[in-house]
Amino acid sequence: MIRLFVIALASLASFVVLAGVAYRLTGNNDLAAWVALALGFAVVPVALLKLWRAPNPASKCPGGTGLYPECMFTVTVTDSQISVTRPDSGSQALLLSDLQEVAIVTNDSGPVGADVWWVISAKSTAQGCTFPAGANGEQDVLRFVQGLPGFSNERFIQAMGSTSNAKFVCWSARD
């Protein structure tokens, strides 16, 4: 945002300077105004936008692709557990034998914040894994949970389309 404000100020300043220079060179106010308009409000902003590009948030992600900060989470599925490595150097793990529920929790913080979260719960409420949609390894988790008997793809699709604060239970060991 600051970048665009600075470019707008630079365009305005260049218009004033160019109008003065063009008038001194031509002695014609009308011609000076047209030259200053063309250069000050068309050429200068385009040149500055090309030279001063906004940083791509994905450049912070491993491999330079993905959504930031979601890409900083890594989730891994093995034969015995699901584990999550978080960007704050924390980690979570859940033994598959303790798996109780797979839910998608949505919130209304998007597109600024992570608005879709996986919540994978254990029989013990002290255990579980949470990670945002877009985390590295998310596709492996999706393949795994879709293989669970009774997993609701319909609930999953509803969750992916939600923009409000809601919880969608896609699978439960109780069912």
> Over the stretch 105-141, which tens digit does the pLDDT of each residue have?
999 987 778 899 999 999 876 778 999 999 999 999 9
Q: Does some domain include residue 58?
A: no
> What values do phi and psi take at 45, rounded to 5?
-65, -40
- pTM (two decimals): 0.67
Per-residue pLDDT, 89: 79
Q: What would the pLDDT profile of 13-48 be if each residue is shown by its tens digit?
A: 888 888 888 888 888 888 888 888 888 788 888 888
Do 36 and 79 share a domain, yes or no? Answer: no
84 plus 161 within the same structural domain:
yes
Domain that holds residue 47: 2-51
Read off the CATH number of the domain in which 136 is found. 2.30.29
**Does residue 32 sit within a domain?**
yes
Q: Tell me what pLDDT residue 175 has.
A: 66
For the chain, how many structural domains are there in total?
2
The reported pLDDT for the residue numbered 10 is: 84
Report if residue 57 sits inside a domain.
Answer: no
Alpha carbons 170 and 157: distance in angstroms, whole number: 10
Distance of CA 6 to the CA centre of its chain: 25
The answer to whether residues 164 and 100 belong to one domain is yes
